[in-house]
Copies of this chain bind each other. A is one copy, B any other.
Amino acid sequence: MDQSPPRSSSVTVADVARKAGVSKATAARVLGGYGTVSDHVRDAVTAAARALDYQPNELARSMTTGRSGTIGVVVGDIENPFFSLAMRGISDVARQAGFTVILINSGEDADTERSAIRTLLAKRVDGLIVSPAKESDADHLREAARSGRPLVLLDRGSETLDIDTVIADDRHAAENITRRFIALGHRRIAYLTACDTPDHRFRAPTDINTGSVRRRIEGFLDVCQKAGLERMEDWVHVGAVTPEHTRCIATVILKSSRRPTALIASDSVIGLEVFKVCRELGVTIPTDLSLVSFHDADWTSVTTPPVTVVRQPVYGLGEAAAKLLVERLNGNSAEATRVVLKTEVVERASVAAAPA
């Protein structure tokens, strides 16, 4: 069967049809797996296709069917373990359902995100999963939703948007932690997040454009207020956008005369940096500072002491978002859904009673 080496590329249905001695339409029916064909013809076409090493052109196929078999995903930063794990969830479900994934990193920048969505729409993705950098300007999200292609928001989403959303119950988790801190006698509790404000200062939750973080801070402030703690807004620090920034901010906080006795890190990248700074500054955990970090990252369980964390179902978040999207793609057109997954506080040894 030593065929002539099949030429590099572009064997088309027409070529196969010619070789098999049938019409283009018939060959297409066999190759595309639709319509009815006699067994006899099917075999002939299949054989011809194999002989010519026919490779279907998915692009042309999408062109006519209108479905590309792709879903677009826009995340803040794939390097962040949070997103890479969520991505794993998305990609597993997508593959299962026969979709491939186009990934774009927004770098948490709204403009990049906007153009990313435009690009994906132009490439005619069947649906989108986006983890919006800022919720304040959500026009491009509305536009995407209006384009008719399903959109699911991941981890972040605004209540005002009528779009499918998958989030964790961040507010509840933050309340939970704050309550524990207060019960342990802490009064000076800091919250440190990457989200930034124009003047790098925090005044009210509405300053925060990232839903998940806003909800956490709301929960934090809420519990504080109910416990009679005043002006806790001053203990919320924003702008820990890079490890260097975090290091800088953490150093200032921990060197200050009114040093916090407890600190909540809004993600594991921040938590890690805070942990390092504590070590450098000789701040002992948990004696001098009680530390809790969001996201159950690798490192949190092997430090001395191991760090108490809020375990978010990150893989599940991605999984749920992708499942929701696939459902929509299969024609489910019910009202916009809001999936909220449970978080869990993993108690380790970085939390103790406030120093006297």
Please report the C-alpha to C-alpha distance between residue A101 and residue B55 in the assembled complex, in whole angstroms: 21
Instruction: Decide if A147 touches B9 in the complex (CB within 8 Å).
Output: yes
* Set of chain B residues within 8 Å of A70, measured between Cβ atoms: 102, 123
Please report the C-alpha to C-alpha distance between residue A103 and residue B100 in the assembled complex, in whole angstroms: 8
* Max chain B C-beta neighbours (<10 A), residue from A8, A79, A119, A279: A79
CB 8 Å contact bits of A85-105 with B (1 = contact, 0 = none)? 101100110010000111111
Residue of B nearest to A89 (CB): B79
Interface with B: A156-164, A232-240, A297-305, A319-327, which one?
Answer: A297-305
Residue of B nearest to A69 (CB): B123
Residue of B nearest to A98 (CB): B119
Q: Is there a chain B Cβ closer than 8 Å to A1's Cβ? A: no
Q: Is there a chain B Cβ closer than 8 Å to A121's Cβ? A: yes
* Set of chain B residues within 8 Å of A299, measured between Cβ atoms: 297-299, 302-303
Please report the C-alpha to C-alpha distance between residue A56 and residue B123 in the assembled complex, in whole angstroms: 9
Interface with B: A59-67, A131-139, A198-206, A339-347, which one?
Answer: A59-67
Q: Is there a chain B Cβ closer than 8 Å to A78's Cβ? A: yes
Tell me how far the C-beta of A112 lies from the nearest C-beta in chain B, rounded to whole angstroms. 8
Q: Is there a chain B Cβ closer than 8 Å to A331's Cβ? A: no
* Set of chain B residues within 8 Å of A105, measured between Cβ atoms: 88, 91-92, 95
Instruction: Decide if B100 touches A101 in the complex (CB within 8 Å).
Output: no
Please report the C-alpha to C-alpha distance between residue A83 and residue B81 in the assembled complex, in whole angstroms: 11
Are A60 and B63 CB-contacts (below 8 A) given A102-B100, A299-B302?
Answer: yes
Q: Is there a chain B Cβ closer than 8 Å to A335's Cβ? A: no
Tell me how far the C-beta of A141 lies from the nearest C-beta in chain B, rounded to whole angstroms. 16
* Set of chain B residues within 8 Å of A297, measured between Cβ atoms: 298-299
Which residue of B95, B122, B123, B276 contacts A301 across the interface (Cβ within 8 Å)?
A: B276
Q: Is there a chain B Cβ closer than 8 Å to A68's Cβ? A: yes
Residues 22-38 of A contacting B (Cβ, < 8 Å): none
Report which A residues bind B (CB closer than 8 A).
8-9, 55-60, 62-63, 68-70, 77-79, 81, 83-85, 87-88, 91-92, 95, 100-105, 118-124, 146-148, 268, 272, 275-276, 279, 297-299, 301-304
Query: Known contacts A56-B122, A59-B124, A77-B88; can you find 11 more A-B pairs with CB under 8 A?
Result: A58-B119, A59-B62, A60-B63, A78-B78, A78-B88, A92-B105, A102-B102, A276-B301, A297-B299, A298-B299, A299-B303
7 CB contacts below 8 A, A to B, read A59-B63, A60-B63, A79-B85, A88-B105, A95-B105, A279-B302, A303-B304
